[in-house]
Amino acid sequence: MTSASRSGWRPRWRPRSLLARNIALLVALVALTQVCSFTVLLHYVQRPRIDRAAIIFSDYVKTLDSVLAAMPPDEGRAAAARLGGQTQPPEHLEFEPHRGPARFFRTWQRDVFVRALQRYLPPDMPVRWQAGDGERLWIRVHVAGEPCWIALPMTEDAQASGITLTLALSAGLALLAALTGYLIQLHINRPLKDLARAARHVSAGEAPVALPTDGPTEIAQVSSAFNQMTLALQQAEATRALMLAGVSHDIRTPLTKLRLAMAMAIPRGADDTFVASAENYLDQIDTILQQFMDYAGSGEREAQQPGDLNALIGQLAADFAGLGHEFELSFAEIPVFAYRPVSLMRLLMNLMQNAIVYGRTGLAVRTWTEGDAACVAVCDRGSGIAAAELEQLKAPFSRGTNARSHSGGTGLGLAIVERIARLHGGSLQFRAREGGGLEALVTLPLNRHSS
């Protein structure tokens, strides 16, 4: 396994969200703390206390055994009978405690006491525990030189271990820790969700609302840094748009003067080819400037309006048909939804114009819905484009290999389409068309709130 695959692998059971991880960590810490405390309590507090109680009880039993052994036989047997004495051990005696978690939780203190008592009594005085309804402690003593089993009642305190209560308290503390972690994480997650939502708005080309900075110090620092970043991006965007608009305006002024000077300087009957060529160059320069203007303002300030997407495409297809370019239309029913009409018209015009210039044949536009999104595919039967170039075409000033022979472009057309699609919360994708050619697929959410 390579280092990359090892770093990317993680157990399926491992929690992924920060909320689940923090709660699991808190519960694990509480559980570890309780286990350590429980172990210390049992071995360094309870066990010494039980051991001392066993020593005192063993002294009492040895004294009782000495008294019974010293008494006359008849009186000794009578005294042993009052203690339930019998020559044979009763049934249901536990010689070796059964192992198991359930028994440990119920009888740990009693079992420790019985084992400790056996250590402090002579070997000929075994100790047994009678299980069942009447639980008693049986000890073999000596009466008139003969062994005799007597029963000594045990108090509830000696029998109960208290472990069940300890476990219940531990479980309660673990649940309390999980609840506390959940509430703390909710408080932390709220600004993180706001930050993620604002980041998505920024990636879509929108200006998000400033994030609050009155939360925890670390979150407030992140929110403040994000606010400064968005402000810097907005200032850079405004500067870029102002610069492009200024450049376009300043260049168009001398271009207009140049057209006028050419019209006045070139006499009638001059070389028409030269005049047409000069006019064509000026038109290309004007087109390039318009593309810069379109890229500078891709509709961020335009208000959204409810509209019919199919009707908008039909209108554009009719306009292109008037210029001699027929598009085959295939419309599915798409509900009316809010979009920026001018920006979306510019998006569709760029894609349809690209299909005409680079695809030439098999022109088609089809629409359909997919989940909560409207999909538009502008198709052609051109020579297509390599898959490696598809995403590069979305970058500004990027042109495909099949566009090298076409002049008058800047490589901003698809960058404009990408920006407008993201401005609507959608996306632009390219894929090979079945049967040859290319499809430019635009996905637009139907239920996006206006901003």
Counting Cα atoms < 13 Å in the Cβ hemisphere of 142 gives 14
SS3 letters across 247-282:
HHHHHHHHHHHHHHHHHHHCCCCCCHHHHHHHHHHH
Answer yes or no: do 293 and 306 share one domain.
no
Instruction: Tell me whether residue 10 is in a domain.
Output: no
pLDDT of residue 337: 93
Instruction: Tell me whether residue 334 is in a domain.
Output: yes
pLDDT of residue 103: 56
Instruction: Tell me whether residue 185 is in a domain.
Output: no
What's 39's domain CATH number? 3.30.450
Instruction: Tell me whether residue 239 is in a domain.
Output: yes
pLDDT of residue 7: 45
Answer yes or no: do 60 and 157 share one domain.
yes
Nearest to 400 by CA among 376, 383, 421, 417: 383
Instruction: Tell me whether residue 70 is in a domain.
Output: yes
Answer yes or no: do 136 and 219 share one domain.
no
Instruction: Tell me whether residue 9 is in a domain.
Output: no
Asked whether the beta carbons of 213 and 69 are under 8 A apart, the reply is: no
Number of independent structural domains in the chain? 3
Backbone angles phi, psi at 105, to 5 degrees: -65, -30
Answer yes or no: do 371 and 419 share one domain.
yes
Answer yes or no: do 317 and 402 share one domain.
yes
Average pLDDT, consecutive stretches of 10 residues, N- to C-terminus, the chain (451 residues)? 47 65 76 80 82 88 88 87 80 55 64 87 86 75 86 62 66 77 77 83 73 79 87 79 69 74 70 70 71 60 87 93 92 93 88 86 93 93 66 60 50 78 87 85 81 46
Q: What's the domain range around 58?
A: 18-165
Answer yes or no: do 24 and 153 share one domain.
yes
DSSP 3-state of 47: helix
Answer yes or no: do 47 and 149 share one domain.
yes
Answer yes or no: do 67 and 32 share one domain.
yes
Picking from 297, 316, 349, the residue at the C-terminal end of a domain is 297
Nearest to 113 by CA among 173, 164, 55: 55
Picking from 138, 165, 192, the residue at the C-terminal end of a domain is 165
pLDDT of residue 327: 94
Instruction: Tell me whether residue 426 is in a domain.
Output: yes
DSSP symbol at 324: T
Answer yes or no: do 232 and 289 share one domain.
yes
pLDDT of residue 367: 96
Token pair 């810097």 is found at: 232
Contacts of 214 (CB under 8 A, 6+ apart): 220
pLDDT of residue 404: 45
pLDDT of residue 422: 85
Answer yes or no: do 284 and 306 share one domain.
no
C-alpha distances in Å from residue 3, one per residue of 16, 26, 56: 21, 31, 65
pLDDT of residue 132: 63
Instruction: Tell me whether residue 8 is in a domain.
Output: no
Answer yes or no: do 41 and 118 share one domain.
yes
- Report the predicted TM-score, pTM, of the whole model to 2 decimal places: 0.46
316: left (phi over 0), alpha (psi -120 to 50) or beta: alpha
